[in-house]
Structure 1
Amino acid sequence: MILKFPFKILLIVLTVFSCTSKNTTKKAPPNIVFILADDLGWADLPMYGNTFNEAPNLEKLAQDGIKFTNAYAANPVCSPTRASIQTGLYPARMGINDWIPGHWRPYENVLASINTVQHLPYNTETLGELLKKAGYTTAFFGKWHLGNDEKSIPKNRGYDESVIFDSAPFFGYQSTMQPKQNFPEDMVLSEALTNLSTDFITKNQDKPFFLFISHFDVHVQLDAQKELVEKYLDKPKAKDYPSNAVYAAMIENIDNSVGRVMAKLKALNLEENTVIVFFSDNGGLVHRYDKIPLLDPHSLPFYENDTLQYIATSNKPLRGEKGTVFEGGIREPLIIKWPGTAKKGAQNNALVSSIDFFPTLLDIANGTLEKNQVMDGKNIVSEIKGANSDISRTLFWHYPVYHHDVPASAVRKGDWKLIQYLDDNHVELFNLKKDVGETTDLSKKEPERTEVLLNLLKNWRKDIHAEMPKPNPNFDEAKRKEWGKHPDA
């Protein structure tokens, strides 16, 4: 028997079904582009107050997205922070306390902690692996620095395409890349990485992709194109800033890369469906730890008789630099563009860390964590949306290494930050709201707060099984600042 419905009723039923189907359809996840600078300081970019360096494309990115003012690297050097981005874990939890293989001073009163692994631990799922499981095509181009053995490199850690190096000159880098590349000899490194990236975007425009661009700029030895350096040599210097023309040219190279990626996304109509993250792996390097010139021989003539052959930048008003747990070593520029979600031109003061990218990007990609997977990072999607600018969170750092300072750990809770020095265990306490330059130690005036924060730090180190420096049986006061070959080098 055939049942007959009045036409109006049938139309209502079909309309309801159609609306229900549309409402339950899951929106396709956006593409994700993560751009990482190397050694770029919090105070190096115009949107953070710099008046000498130029970065119009990054300024446009900030105008179209959200700028974070309290964003941190999980460690003051490269490998540990990169590991935190790939895993969402504090570096000390993984036993990666220093760059791979690490610094070494054999005659100090304590021996620095050695990395327990010299690669990204194999028992961790990487961001690339989980986004690949979520349906993304993945690529990594640039500095990896998380292990060179076959098992450790990106193509075996979740990335469908990869071209990597651990360090490279900015010209003549082709032979240092894995796999070897054949770019023109006069092409600067940042341009080559951008070519790889835009080609990847073009090839994968019809499916979700995750692209990680890992620049080597502005790492030493500083080098750039002659005509670009000369542009900044002719520019008046900024007050209270070194205004190193080679360094500024390298920042412009990063900025040009960002601009080219943005232009490619726009040309392919992908702009509105792509999240872009811009970050740096640690604070700015002021001078080399070994006190030698930090300019490549190609660029050394620009400052051959000038102190700027030894000075890259300044992190003022922040104290310290790369290799320290002062703000200058760990506070980073962070800009995130998420069309339709992040309010254009917004600023957020919430405390965020490089450990947060993993859970955040996984959420954006509609991915899922593996069962029982440990996660130190926090999903900051609400912060990106501008709904949460709370600074009451607690963050930790552990750098048990001699570099630009002595071994130290740190904790920040709200406006307060405590540093414990691991060579003699003394502590210093700072109120960052009133003293962002960490000039005044308040530990004696605030003994109760000091004790609370120190206990938080000690308990955290215990919980993650952090490696600690050990007394040195070969301590020699006369030789204590000498550098030696690392035992794992």
Structure 2
Amino acid sequence: MRCLAFLLCACLLAGLTSPASAAERSPNFVFILVDDLGWTDLGCFGSSFYETPNVDKLANSGVRFTNAYAACQVCSPTRASIMTGRYPTRTGITDYIGAAQPDKWNRKTPLLPAPYETKLALDEVTIAEALKQKGYATFFAGKWHLGSEEYFPEHQGFDVNQGGIDRGGPYGGKKYFSPYGNPRLKDGPDGEHLPDRLATETVKFMEAHKDEPFLAYLSFYSVHTPLMSREDLKQKYEEKKKTLKHGEIWGQEGARKVRLVQEHAIYAGMVEAMDQAVGKVLDGIDSLGLADNTIVMFMSDNGGLSTSEGHPTSNLPLRGGKGWIYEGGIREPMIVRWPSVTKADTVSEQYVSSVDFFPTILEMAGVELPQQVTLDGMSFAPVLKGQTIDRGAIYWHYPHYGNQGGSPTAAVREGDWKLIEFYEDGRLELYNLANDPGESNNLAEKKPELASKMHAQLKAWRQETGAKMPTPRAAN
């Protein structure tokens, strides 16, 4: 009898300490961030040249946001905004880390760019640190670009870091192919492809932590330069390119030529390789039995590269691209799948910002943030449930000169209206994005009261968030 009682107690204790069921557990999060992916670079967002069946499948199973924005037109500021839920003006990271500071500025420009922070401060609360409060295991793979070694992911709340360093691209070794020359990613077999390797590491992490809630943050180096593709995919798109019929390939954006047609074979191969890696992660979620309790989010950090550095993609019908405040530089392809909540194959026109991920994820996970932390984002969880939200205004401040031709600018969007301020000459441009997503009809002179009201709103926001401004250059 004593032996039987012992066995019964053991069984009860095992039941009490066994992994929680999916219904009882906090949801898992798989956050996928692609570098430099343009708004129309996916099949589900309108591309007829690039093939992305796996991301398209994800879109068909969740919500596709057509008015999703990066907090900046270049990478590091947006990445910090996702990590913290705070605008670049608050984190101080307003340009890509590595850009010349004003005391090193040697370009002949009317303004000196503002100074910016070169790391994500350790006292910022990251999404990984917030989720760890509730027992989440945390994983980061891929591009970090938020500071030097003491500010790497493992010091910002991530238990595991596979490849996250200070570089803005895969610039070591053979770049997109092993050996990688990355101090946070062991080399694989010679010729191993980086996006596939990052997906493999993500699946390994999910398998190791399938019995506890986790955050897997997969931050691709793809499709950032250098423009390098697997040879088989390059050949595939070289052949596909021969079948295209199109008009003029090049247009003009300011002093820069801008690509008008998606037909770059190497870039297309990079996009498809990224898509295949996403497919590996999605298959891993399914094969591990995690699909019913894993929220998947997909986003890009800035617009597609259309005016510089090989001009590999087109963002039409949007204007401009990476480095520009126009929609092509800041509007991103965004997809969210929340099992048992989002309806399959849904499209939302709700405008949202990358600062909104942080409060949304916290709401989904049931995590409260310390009161002393100031968030700029608003949860879009109600939108995922089929409801509407009054998002209010979203803002941008880029007091720098981009490598892609953009100049120091700021912008605000509220409702259908977007106002842009150009810091060099104070020029204002006002667009109704519902009628004119390509920003071809400046209405600032026709609607001066609205322009003035939105400009005052923008200036007040800059003051409230402590935005640093570019300064006039001293005459030689």
Q: TM-score, normalised by structure 2?
A: 0.87
What's the counterpart of residue 442 of structure 2?
441
Does residue 67 (structure 1) correspond to residue 64 (structure 2)? The answer is yes
1:394 matches 2:399? no
* Deviation for aligned residue 1:272: 1.1
Contact 1:351 1:393 in 2 (8 A): no
3-state SS in 1 of match to 2:463: helix
Paired letter, 1:397: W
Q: Deviations over 1:443-469 (max 9, x none)?
A: 110000000100010000000010100
**Secondary structure, aligned partner of 2:170:** coil
Looking at structure 1, the residues matched to 313 and 332 of structure 2 have their Cα atoms a distance apart, in angstroms, of 14
Deviation at 1:122, TM superposition (A): 2.3
Q: 1-side partners of 2:386 and 2:202: how far apart? A: 29
* Counterparts of residues 213-228 of structure 1 (less than 5 Å): 213-228=218-233
CA distance in 2 between counterparts of 1:149 and 1:261 reads 28
User: How many Å apart are 1:36 and its aligned residue?
Assistant: 0.4
Partner residue of 2:290? Answer: 270
Alignment of 1:348-427 (within 5 A): 348-388=348-388, 393-403=392-402, 404-427=405-428
Distance 2:409 2:36 in 1: 20
Question: Are residues 1:237 and 2:244 paired?
Answer: yes
The 1:405–1:366 alpha-carbon spacing in structure 2 relative to 1, beyond 3 Å, is: same
- Cα deviation per residue 1:79-113 (whole Å; 9 max; x = unaligned)? 00000000000011221110002255543111011
Indicate how the Cα distance of structure 1 residues 244 and 26 shifts in structure 2: closer, same or farther if over 3 A, else same.
closer
Verify: 1:204 aligned to 2:209, yes or no. Answer: yes
Match of 2:267 in 1: 247
Letter in 2 for 1:178: P
1:178 shift after superposition: 3.0
The correspondence of residues 3-18 of structure 1 with structure 2, limited to 5 A, is none
Instruction: Identify the residue that residue 75 of structure 2 maps to in structure 1.
Output: 78
What secondary structure does 1:370 align onto? Answer: coil
1:156 corresponds to which residue? 155
Deviations 1:277-322 (A, max 9, x none): 010000001142xxxxx4xxxxxxxxxxxxxxx3201100000110
Alignment partner of 1:316 is 2:316: yes
Contact 1:107-1:472 within 8 A present in 2 as well: no
Shift of 1:180: 4.3
Please tell me the residue identity of whatever aligns with 1:237: L
Identity among equivalent positions (%) equals 41
For 1:273 and 1:253, the matched residues in 2 are separated by: 27
Task: Answer yes or no: is 1:90 the counterpart of 2:87.
Answer: yes
Alpha-carbon distance in structure 2 between the residues aligned to 1:173 and 1:394 = 44
1:114-156 CA distance string (max 9 Å, x none):
20x2100222110111111111000000000000132x11101
Separation of aligned partners in 2, 1:311 and 1:162? 32
1:321 partner letter: G
For 1:51, which of 48, 52, 55 is the aligned residue? 48
The CA deviation at 1:238 is 6.2
The 1:244/1:60 distance shift into structure 2, 3 A limit, reads same
Residue in structure 2 matched with residue 283 of structure 1 by the alignment: 303
| Cα distance between partner residues in 1 of 2:412 and 2:126 | 26
Q: 1:168 to 1:474 in 2, by over 3 A?
A: farther
Q: What amino acid maps onto 2:70 in structure 1? A: A
The CA deviation at 1:259 is: 0.7
- 1:97 match: secondary structure: coil
Question: Shift in Å at residue 257 of structure 1?
Answer: 1.1
Tell whether the 8 Å contact from 1:76 to 1:283 is kept in structure 2 after alignment. yes
CA contact (8 A) 2:178 2:187 kept: no
Contact 1:174 1:180 in 2 (8 A): no
Determine the structure 2 residue equivalent to 1:336: 336
Question: CA separation in 1, counterparts of 2:176 and 2:56?
Answer: 27
The amino acid that maps onto 2:34 is A
Distance 1:340 1:455 in 2: 43
Could you give the per-residue CA deviations for residues 332-357 of structure 1, whole angstroms, max 9, x where no partner exists? Answer: 00000111001111111111000000
Q: Residue in 1 aligned with 2:455?
A: 454
> Comparing 83-92 with 176-185, which one deviates more in the overlay?
176-185
Maintained 8 Å contact 2:154/2:161: yes
Alignment partners' CA distance in 1, 2:422 and 2:64? 32
Supply the distance in 2 between the matched residues of 1:229 and 1:220 (Cα, whole angstroms).
15
Deviations 1:167-206 (A, max 9, x none): 2154345443232412112111101111111111111111
Preserved CA contact (<8 Å) 1:348 1:389:
no
**Partner amino acid, structure 1, of 2:449:** E
SS of residue paired to 2:362: helix
- Structure ID, larger Rg: 1
Q: Which amino acid aligns with 1:421?
A: F
Other-structure match for 1:305: none
Q: CA deviation at 1:26?
A: 8.4
- Paired AA for residue 97 in structure 2: I
Equivalent residue letter for 1:214 = S
> For the residues of structure 2 that align with 1:384 and 1:149, how far apart are their CA atoms?
37
The alpha-carbon deviation at position 371 of structure 1 amounts to: 2.2
Q: Tell me the residue number matched to 2:15.
A: none
- Structure 2 Cα separation of the partners of residues 105 and 344 of structure 1: 52
CA contact (8 A) 2:382 2:389 kept: no
Q: d(CA) in 2 for partners of 1:271 and 1:322?
A: 34
In structure 2, C-alpha distance between the alignment counterparts of 1:325 and 1:105, rounded to whole Å: 23
CA distance in 2, matches of 1:55, 1:181: 28
Letter in 2 for 1:345: D
CA–CA separation in structure 2 for the residues paired with 1:181 and 1:424: 49
Deviation at 1:214, TM superposition (A): 0.5
Give the counterpart letter for 2:63 in structure 1: I
The structure-2 alpha-carbon separation of the partners of 1:204 and 1:312, relative to structure 1 and needing over 3 Å to count, comes to same
- Which is further off, 444-453 or 43-52? 43-52
3-state SS of paired residue (1:176): coil
Question: Match for 1:190: what amino acid?
Answer: P
**Partner residue of 1:194?**
199
Q: CA deviation at 1:375?
A: 0.5
- The structural deviation recorded for 1:438 is 0.5
Cα distance in 1, alignment partners of residues 48 and 329 from structure 2: 21
Q: For the residues of structure 1 that align with 2:456 and 2:319, how far apart are their CA atoms?
A: 24
Retained in 1: the 8 A contact 2:135–2:213?
yes
**3-state SS in 1 of match to 2:284:** helix
* Secondary structure of residue in 2 paired with 1:32: strand
Instruction: Measure, in 2, the Cα distance between the counterparts of 1:184 and 1:99.
Output: 32
> Which consecutive unaligned segments of at least 5 residues does structure 1 have?
1-24, 289-293, 295-309, 476-489
Displacement of 1:389 after TM fit? Answer: 6.4
